[in-house]
Amino acid sequence: MTDFAKTKSLFHLPPGLVYLDGNSLGPLPKAAVARVGRTMQEEWGDMLITAWNRADWMNQPSRVGDRIGRLIGAPPGSVVMGDTLSIKVYQALASALEINAERNIILSDTGNFPTDLYMAEGLVKSLDKGHELKLCEPGEVESLLSEDVAVLMLTEVDYRSGRLHDMKALTAKAHEMGILTIWDLAHSAGALPVDVGGAEVDFAVGCSYKYLNSGPGGPAFIYVAPRLADQVQPALCGWLGHEEPFAFDLAYRPGAGIERMRVGTPPILQLSALEASLDIWELVDMNDLRARSIELSDLFIELVEVGCPELEMVSPRDGSRRGSQVSFCFEHGYAAMRALIDRGLIGDFRAPDIMRFGITPLYIDADDVRKAAAIIEDVMGNRLWDSAEYFVQSAVT
Amino acid sequence: MTDFAKTKSLFHLPPGLVYLDGNSLGPLPKAAVARVGRTMQEEWGDMLITAWNRADWMNQPSRVGDRIGRLIGAPPGSVVMGDTLSIKVYQALASALEINAERNIILSDTGNFPTDLYMAEGLVKSLDKGHELKLCEPGEVESLLSEDVAVLMLTEVDYRSGRLHDMKALTAKAHEMGILTIWDLAHSAGALPVDVGGAEVDFAVGCSYKYLNSGPGGPAFIYVAPRLADQVQPALCGWLGHEEPFAFDLAYRPGAGIERMRVGTPPILQLSALEASLDIWELVDMNDLRARSIELSDLFIELVEVGCPELEMVSPRDGSRRGSQVSFCFEHGYAAMRALIDRGLIGDFRAPDIMRFGITPLYIDADDVRKAAAIIEDVMGNRLWDSAEYFVQSAVT
């Protein structure tokens, strides 16, 4: 049984604050500062260039990829770290379109995170070969699968509502029609059990700074099903994806399997921070995490709905169809979120009217959920959001 | 006058070591560990998600880009940080090919760093519109400029020999024929005075972990001439290059100017390390740096040539035609470099037979150069490289 009091003790959580935004940026693992400090002082500082070998920086993207693989049901050697999620989406999509070259539709839904759609749009425009990015409502995806579709590209957990797609069923349906699948696990990895191997997913991508707590701008990951990895021709073919980077050939030869999805020099400091977080993940059983996430989310929903009739729940009520976040719709959600933050509850706001709360059992417990619900009740019941200062828009939260 | 004893004192340099590989990975600025630690503890740790606004992480890529702009002659608002050099090459090339859409040749030379060529190869293949990546010898570039050429893509300083292209003259010649230019400044930025504005360069890219000392995997930069920035249509259109990322539109609208070259979430920890290094760069006059670099390089060449007749200098003898490195050709260069490293002199080896030494005045002085030359003389004169252990190849140095 996972000891969540223990995992909570391993994070730095500012006193007096309830942090329900780990679905956007996970908190700092206490060990990360020293870990990154060691990488900087003992590796970069003392070993200098030789750390690429001596500290094995060169293989860090695959080594860390394997640790993430364990959390998403990917076998060793099928996940590699690097770049950002946007870039990894581009790589996956360009590869999939090349494999399914005789088809021209990319099917996605309006619940996909916008950058995935933007990257697809850019690729389609750049290729200029008549591809079409077709968007539907999340509930329509299954009915729109057809033999014209080259690629089904979805985010498993909707970033706004937390609605969970049935990855395994949709992948199976897609495969029946010869469609390749790309799953964005940004809101899944570390949020719930994921099994890309069991679901026979073709490509998966995700970021590490949300539930995986790697810190701001931590690298993304990409999974390519081993059955496809050696036939993928990367569009972004950088030197570290070359079969022999240090041969300095003038022509590209793809590296073996997932290695070819590497592009440039990996961000060693960010990867070190991620490793400190992954040490905590070693203590976690994903089924325990999922049970706890649903239990805490259900408690949160119950308390908020009783206390705040103005808030409309927009997440699925059935925990098994939800990721690890709970969202409410409120016309003045932006102002309300500002008011909550001022009172020690951090969640976030997503335009036009969604108040979003991440439920992350690694460091959030029932006490936190009760405190959060009480703050929300105070802000809503007493209209504390209704103050001019909260209506001035700023960039992020 | 730049105080190079002062700048040297600001780096962590392991005692007993001479480091002539700052052209591959710059050393650790002493202030960087605390700087990154503060970013982790006080921003990520204490502010959590609100640091995107409160610590202004959101604008860090442009803010830092402006500081690098100062070192390469780029006006404020024309440089932005992010991704890796490979990705930035792709962005620049895709943009340039779209502007010069009626032409199909990308001209580069065999002295370009391979990843630039690989990324071009991948783009050409992916676009499948009949573009051709044409490679020539570095000395032939000027004679091959023609009205068929869409883009001239070169690295200013050859990573092997240190040979310097005449960026201003080649750019002017290229422009006479309607050719757009992309300059890779990986071995130029922080190595010598660069003036992308004065040379009227169209696109420039570079990395920050060499002469700019940002640490392993630090982010790349991209410059787009302000006259072009608003007409560039980014092929890699990520959400942070969107006009309003937090509107979460389903369709992409490019941000203003250089902002559209942003893609995904920026690597805040790596950027903080870079900022610590840029504080040191504030103390440096690039003309002083250049004079000192040539003076130290000339001294190094003189001492090595006198002491080691087996080594053949492959860098230009005229300091004004050289970057800030000196390279020698030697059949057993790999083994010789291993032997040097074992004796406290770190340089690097580039296949097939190049021994490469970076001369970086920020932390290398005449004493270091003399020590280095003495170690080389010892290793060469006494054939200390001729040992079985030095012939086992490992990955990087």
Tell me the C-alpha distance between A247 and A208, whole Å: 31
A49 and B21 within 8 Å at the Cβ level: the answer is yes
Of B85, B267, B397, the CB nearest to A53: B397
Residue A195 has pLDDT above 70, yes or no: yes
Q: Scanning every residue of chain B, which has its alpha carbon at the shortest distance from the alpha carbon of A108?
A: B250
Which of B98, B118, B396 has the highest number of chain A CBs within 10 A, making it the mutation to test binding with A?
B118
- The four Cα atoms A63, A67, A69, A73 give a dihedral, to 10 degrees, of 150
Average of per-residue pLDDT values in chain A: 96
A14 and B48 within 8 Å at the Cβ level: the answer is yes
Q: Scanning every residue of chain B, which has its alpha carbon at the shortest distance from the alpha carbon of A119?
A: B237
Q: What is the ipTM of this complex?
A: 0.97
pLDDT value of residue B394: 61
The model's confidence at residue A368, banded by pLDDT at 50, 70 and 90, is very high
Of B49, B233, B237, the CB nearest to A24: B49
Q: How many beta-carbon contacts under 8 Å exist across A and B?
A: 298
What average pLDDT does range A211-238 have in this prediction?
Answer: 96
Q: Which two tokens stand for residue A251?
A: 């022509």
pLDDT value of residue A392: 80
Dihedral sign computed on CA atoms, order A71, A75, A76, A77: negative
Q: Which chain A residues are within 8 Å of B40, Cβ to Cβ? A: 28, 32-33, 36, 215, 273
Tell me the C-alpha distance between A379 and A341, whole Å: 10
- SS3 label, residue B346: strand
pLDDT value of residue A397: 45
Looking at 3.40.605.10, 3.40.640.10, 3.40.50.620, 3.10.580.10, the CATH number of the domain A56-281 comes to: 3.40.640.10
Tell me the C-alpha distance between B297 and B324, whole Å: 7
Burial A65-104 (b: 16+ CB within 10 A, else e): bbbbbebbbbeebbbbbbbbbbbbbbbbbbbbbbbbeebb
Q: Which two tokens stand for residue A149?
A: 């579709």
DSSP code string of B81-135: EES-HHHHHHHHHHHHHHHTTT--EEEEETTS-HHHHHHHHHHHHHH-SS-EEEE
Side chain identity, residue A290: R
- SS3 label, residue B203: strand
Of A27, A41, A217, the CB nearest to B269: A217
Compute and round to an integer the Cα radius of gyration of chain B. Answer: 21
Give yes or no: A168 in active site. Answer: no
What average pLDDT does range A97-117 have in this prediction?
Answer: 96
Residue recorded with tokens 């942003």: B262
Full pLDDT tens readout for chain B, 397 residues: 999 999 999 999 999 999 999 999 999 999 999 999 999 999 999 999 999 999 999 999 999 999 999 999 999 999 999 999 999 999 999 999 999 999 999 999 999 999 999 999 999 999 999 999 999 999 999 999 999 999 999 999 999 999 999 999 999 999 999 999 999 999 999 999 999 999 999 999 999 999 999 999 999 999 999 999 999 988 999 999 999 999 999 999 999 999 999 999 999 999 999 999 999 999 999 999 999 999 999 999 999 999 999 999 999 999 999 999 999 999 999 999 999 999 999 999 998 999 999 999 999 999 999 999 999 999 999 999 999 999 877 654 4
pLDDT value of residue B162: 97
A267 and B266 within 8 Å at the Cβ level: the answer is no
Q: Which chain B residues are within 8 Å of A216, Cβ to Cβ? A: 43-44, 51-52, 57, 265-269
A396 and B246 within 8 Å at the Cβ level: the answer is yes
Q: Which chain A residues are within 8 Å of B12, Cβ to Cβ? A: 41, 45-46
The model's confidence at residue A2, banded by pLDDT at 50, 70 and 90, is very high
pLDDT value of residue B397: 45
A33 and B37 within 8 Å at the Cβ level: the answer is yes
- Among B151, B160, B225, B149, smallest CA distance to B186 is for B160
pLDDT value of residue B392: 79
Q: Scanning every residue of chain B, which has its alpha carbon at the shortest distance from the alpha carbon of A397?
A: B50
What percent of chain A clears pLDDT 70, i.e. is strictly above it? Answer: 99
- Among B208, B122, B262, B390, smallest CA distance to A237 is for B122
Query: Where do the structural domains in chain A lie, given as residue ranges?
Result: 4-29+285-391, 56-281
B86 and A114 within 8 Å at the Cβ level: the answer is no
Q: Scanning every residue of chain B, which has its alpha carbon at the shortest distance from the alpha carbon of A265?
A: B217
B265 and A395 within 8 Å at the Cβ level: the answer is no
Q: Scanning every residue of chain A, which has its alpha carbon at the shortest distance from the alpha carbon of B269?
A: A270
Contact in structure between A396 and B53 (CB atoms under 8 Å): yes
Question: Is 3.20.20.70 the CATH classification of the domain at B4-29+285-391?
Answer: no
Tell me the C-alpha distance between B49 and B57, whole Å: 10
Pairing of strands B312-313, B325-329: antiparallel
Q: Which two tokens stand for residue A365?
A: 């417990």
Tell me the C-alpha distance between A383 and A380, whole Å: 5
Q: How far is CA B353 from CA A165, A355, B312, B341, in A?
A: 55, 61, 10, 16
- SS3 label, residue B379: helix
Q: Which chain B residues are within 8 Å of A45, Cβ to Cβ? A: 12, 14, 27-28, 33
Contact in structure between A65 and A204 (CB atoms under 8 Å): no
pLDDT value of residue A280: 98
Of B50, B219, B268, the CB nearest to A397: B50
pLDDT value of residue A220: 98
Of A87, A135, A218, the CB nearest to B236: A87
Q: State the DSSP H helix or E strand holding residue B231, giving kind and residue range, or none if neither.
A: none
Residue B9, C-beta contacts closer than 8 angstroms, at least 6 positions apart: none
Residue A343, C-beta contacts closer than 8 angstroms, at least 6 positions apart: A375, A378, A379, A384
Q: Which chain A residues are within 8 Å of B129, Cβ to Cβ? A: 128
B395 and A24 within 8 Å at the Cβ level: the answer is no
